[in-house]
Amino acid sequence: MTAQTQNRRVARYGMSIDIDKCNGCGACMVACAVENNIPPAPEAANDRKGITWIRVYKVDNHLAYPERRTAFVPVLCQQCGHDTPCVHVCPQQAVDVDPATGIVGQMPERCLGCRYCMVACPYHARYFNWWDPAWPVGMEKTLNPDVAPRMRGVVEKCNFCHGRWHAAQQKAAAAGRREIDAADYVPACVEACPTGALRFGDLNDSSTEVAQDAQRPESFRLLEKIGTEPKIHYRSRRGWVREISSAPRPEGKDGLRG
């Protein structure tokens, strides 16, 4: 920990996701791609080779129609707070956890493209650049200047829109403040969610909505039993939805889109 972070209040940014409010519209996925300069899919891309830092999965209760019920679960990097698997396995030190924010960062310029981190990630939240990033002619003008496009052959993932955090830091510094205003740092997916299903904030600050959401009885985390202390807290009033984190994979492919 640096002297700078020792003097500052340590944040632990996290998200709460109300699955009962998510309608699976995909606004978060598109907003994320716009914000983070993620290119459209090349011709050969599919659901395994595409890049979606946040991906909304359609899950169901495995019952037959008409008892079958579905829910939409946005899955992004869970920003593991303990024994972060991708950090441990990276041979290049291309992944780190920022002690000031708790955000798991990915440095593409260090990444070798070995994809150990993708294997290690229990949440399938890391994506490999199979192709050079390319946009239709003219569309490169719409790229966000705060985020550098990544090159072919490296892994990337959600970093809670780190560019926005930097911008909020600069704004606070310009105003002579040491701490950022919470309203200045909101990831693109949270800003875009039309239903208000996504909330973001500092889990260390008990006054934030996200910290309070994390304490609710209907709150749960994905694969909590493996002890990675994810910072994404889901919640649902439906019991079968809360059980999805430990549910077995469906047999066969009939239950899966694609």
Residues 83-122 that bind another protein (CB under 8 A): 92, 108-113
DSSP class of residue 72 equals E
Tell me, by CB under 8 A, how many residues bind another protein.
76
CB count, 10 Å around CB of 116?
Answer: 17
CA geometry: angle at 190 spanning 184 and 196, to 5°? 115
Residues making up the chain, counted from first to last: 258
What the block records as the tokens of 26 is 């995909």
Least gap, CB of 207 to another protein (angstroms): 21
By the rule CB under 8 A, 55 interacts with another protein: yes
Least gap, CB of 72 to another protein (angstroms): 7
Least gap, CB of 82 to another protein (angstroms): 28
- Residue span binding another protein (CB under 8 A) among the ranges 82-90, 97-105, 189-197, 207-215: 189-197
Query: Interaction with another protein in 20-49: which residues (CB under 8 A)?
Result: 20-21, 23-27, 29-31, 33-35, 37-38, 40-41, 45-47
Query: Interaction with another protein in 129-168: which residues (CB under 8 A)?
Result: 132-149, 151-154
By the rule CB under 8 A, 171 interacts with another protein: no
**55/162 with CB nearer another protein:** 55
**1/44 with CB nearer another protein:** 44
Could you tell me which residues are beta bridge partners of residue 18?
A: 235
Least gap, CB of 99 to another protein (angstroms): 24
CB within 8 Å of 32: residues ≥ 6 apart = 38, 52, 53, 54, 158, 187, 188, 189
Segment 178-184 long-range contacts (CB within 8 Å, at least 24 positions apart) = 178/8, 179/8, 179/9, 182/208
Least gap, CB of 35 to another protein (angstroms): 6
Chosen residue from 6, 8, 9, 68 binding another protein by CB under 8 A: 68
By the rule CB under 8 A, 194 interacts with another protein: yes
Least gap, CB of 67 to another protein (angstroms): 9
Phi-psi region of 247 (alpha: psi -120 to 50; beta: other; left: phi over 0): beta
Q: How far apart are CA 128 and CA 118, in angstroms?
A: 8
Chosen residue from 11, 17, 56, 77 binding another protein by CB under 8 A: 56
- Going by DSSP bridges, is the β-strand pair 232-235/13-18 parallel, antiparallel, or unpaired? parallel
What the block records as the tokens of 235 is 């919640």
